[in-house]
Chain A
């Protein structure tokens, strides 16, 4: 049986009296993308900081590749890649120099930094200093830095935050490629579309607690409402009707409307992750 790449059991962390993470438990298997979905301040980044050894947990246990996490474990740290929410790059160094420097910290003698930059679309700016990069380019640089050591475990903290749709799509593609290669990916985001599109499973985190964890499909089935939206002509205007599929008599009502001469469109509807999150927590993702 395959061992989980990330295993977290009853993990808690506090900033003074404020409990940022409360008894969180989850696992991420190799090749799996687990989306950590929650609003700002929910505890997503804190969980990553504990897992990457930047902070020590107050209680509970966190393992990476079967070893307990900690700041001074070079063997674990050699296997992980981290994309921080803040763009902490060496601005006075070029993109290529940044990657080569970090590769040397991992003991990689001949890093194919240009290939990594090519994957994120920065090969033509490789020798330019990072301070001349746009926000989107810096974010791609952050992603490429996380990939430089071909990590077994990837921690990506809001990797597409504030980016344009095209750049976001590029970054999502590269993340999926890493998972396809076999890397376990823990992706924190408050973008429900990103979580839905990329994640094999999604964990809803709110006020430091995981309130739901499953595949996006199962969450929708479990907590969402299946319905059909029908639009009909109504004199000069348009009338909409939502018909829940799980209620008795819904099939007959749909058949009736489908045969109506006023029918304009008919669509099936499924719950969004955001709607489910609101339903479970009583608050939105922003």
Chain B
């Protein structure tokens, strides 16, 4: 009896079987739907605009500084008209995006910054300090201020500056959690204020910045959290698909159904091809759906996004093959999945909190994929901006996909 079957027919049969198995894996179907709903909900909840206002504490109060300055300038013979102009200077108004909070006492200011005192602003504009440990009541008709950074000017500093004193030290206090970017912004603010008042730079030390900022430096043109979340959403979908695909592979290996397949005309290459196509296809399709739902596609970037997501899908599918081959049960698979995927998703977090990523993040295989995704979705990057990232991503795909195929092949052969 002569019977032949084409490789295409075998591949179609295997893909159909994968689809049935996938659609009936209730746990991962639930996780996939939950993730889709969750990430989309988070995306729409996130603000789509940026609040660039920074609350800045100052001691002594700005009015005191200006009054001191006027006296100094008057002694120098500055005409009264000009002194009147200085008196009308409103630093807070002129420094857009800065909410000034005046403190008479530097100790109180530092206590607020470090959190041992609370600062509240009443509807009338007055600042009320509340000592919780002392049992102070919550101030009525007031809102609490989040003061993370403050500047302490020395007594008589304008006179010293104008008078040519060599060292005038201005101290910047900041909470440990304040990102370096904010510290830099405050330093710039002080410099601006100094130039405005005295036409002279102040000795404020700039912190060294050895961190990586993904994408383009958009000082004054910040990206909203909603926009920053787009790459994160795409990565979350890829992550869940990694779990799903690893589960499908693991079940096939543990129940040895793949052995039954391999005594038919199907070859191991057919099985690997089916797993590759199905896993990559499912991850890619869902990733593209999410990107479409959040409006990431444009007429210019759709093909770049397609390439980026294809590379990401292949990368995560390679990981799924390794995880699916390694896990001996659900918990084992979960362990391997976490061990592999958590490091891979780290670059996505660094987009949400710029400055939190370090140089080593660049060595993570998903970094070039994410870098391209950030560039395309947030900064309208074109081919010339992302081709290098594509190159690195392709190299990592070759490594991870190759490792996945090799691991799965070895596992199946050993059954």
Contacts and interface: CB of A to CB of B under 8 A. Distances in A.
Contacts of B5: 74, 78, 105-107
A105 B257 contact: no
B31 to A, nearest CB: 16
Interface stretch (B9-17, B97-105, B393-401): B9-17
A52 interface: yes
Nearest to B26: A92
Interface string A218-249: 00000000000000000000000000000000
Interface in A72-95: 72, 74-75, 77-80, 82, 84, 86, 88-93
A78 B13 contact: no
Interface residues of A, number: 32
A93 B267 contact: no
Nearest to A103: B13
A26 interface: no
B20 A93 contact: yes
A83 B12 CA distance: 24
A88 B260 contact: yes
Interface string B259-280: 1111111111000000000000
A93 B16 CA distance: 12
Interface string B172-211: 0000000000000000000000000000000000000000
A54 B259 CA distance: 8
Given A93-B20, A104-B9, A104-B13, A78 B263 contact: no
Nearest to B14: A105
A90 B4 contact: no
B218 interface: no
B24 interface: yes
Contacts, number: 91
A71 B9 contact: no
A177 B5 CA distance: 27
A133 interface: no
Contacts of B24: 92-93, 129
B297 to A, nearest CB: 35
B256 interface: yes
Contacts of A77: 263-265
A143 to B, nearest CB: 13
Nearest to B268: A71
Contacts of A93: 17, 20-21, 24
Contacts of A53: 262-263
A91 B20 CA distance: 11
Contact of B263 (A54, A86, A104): A54
A102 B25 CA distance: 20
Nearest to A142: B260
A107 B6 contact: yes
Contacts of A145: 260
B167 interface: no
Contacts of A72: 267-268
B4 A78 contact: yes
B165 interface: no
A152 interface: yes
A101 B17 contact: yes
A92 B268 contact: no
A277 B16 CA distance: 48
Contacts of A106: 3, 5, 264-265
Contacts of B17: 90, 93, 101
Contact of A80 (B4, B12, B263): B263
B255 to A, nearest CB: 6
B259 A105 contact: no
Contact of A105 (B4, B21, B255, B265): B265
Of the listed residues B3, B6, B9, B261, the one surrounded by the most CB atoms of chain A closer than 10 A to its CB is B3
B267 A107 contact: no
A82 B261 CA distance: 10
Interface in B148-184: none
Contacts of A129: 24
A92 B25 contact: yes
Nearest to A93: B20
A217 interface: no
Nearest to B22: A92
A91 to B, nearest CB: 7
A66 B1 CA distance: 13
A92 B260 contact: no
Contacts of A92: 20-21, 24-25
7 contacts: A53-B263, A75-B4, A79-B3, A88-B259, A89-B255, A93-B17, A107-B5
Given A84-B256, A92-B20, A104-B16, 6 more contacts: A54-B259, A71-B262, A72-B267, A75-B265, A104-B10, A104-B12
Q: Which 10 A-B pairs have the closest CB atoms?
A: A107-B5, A74-B265, A104-B13, A92-B24, A105-B264, A88-B256, A78-B3, A82-B263, A88-B257, A52-B263
Interface of B: 1, 3-6, 9-10, 12-14, 16-17, 20-21, 24-25, 255-257, 259-268, 415
Interface of A: 52-54, 71-72, 74-75, 77-80, 82, 84, 86, 88-93, 97, 101-102, 104-107, 129, 145, 149-150, 152
